Amino acid sequence: MVEYANDDDEAKTDSVINVIKKLKGAYETFLGGYSSVLGTFETTIHRITDLVRQYSSDDNAFSFLNGKFIGINLKIVLKYLKYSLGKDLYTVGICLVVVGFSLILSVSCTIFLIVYINIELKKNMNAANNPIPNVMTVSPYQPGAPVVSVAPNINY
């Protein structure tokens, strides 16, 4: 079995050594393509950053464009989070859960309120477009005129 697994004969394509060689070739092809894409990405990023790099030297007014402040600010924020939350992480977790449920409640109430307002607006618009007629009667002073009454048309 060991001889068959290590058989380097090209005719035996299912031997372990041949399968590993094919896998190695496929992996090298994949890595070559990946390296090519990374090279293209690096070239594109350099084209974009070269436009800004001339203005981002340390003695220039636009030195903030180099982005060093982001790393410094991130370290400061992480330091304060460690000192303020590091000892009482359980309480922070409970507070975050309560805030999450509060957000769910507030969002659902807001959606309900918007739906209710839209229904009321639609009712008011329909009422303005179709005014409810009053009960009308023909004057009794006209001889022979029929009495007409109209019931209000209410649609809900």
Residue 5 burial (10 A CB sphere; 0-12, 13-18, 19+): middle
Per-residue pLDDT of the chain (156 residues; tens, 9 = 90+): 777 777 777 666 677 788 888 889 999 999 898 889 888 888 888 887 777 766 666 666 666 666 666 777 778 877 877 777 666 767 777 888 888 888 888 988 999 999 999 999 998 888 777 665 554 554 555 556 555 555 555 655
Residue spans of the domains in the chain: they are: 1-66, 86-130
Residue where the block lists tokens 């402040």: 69
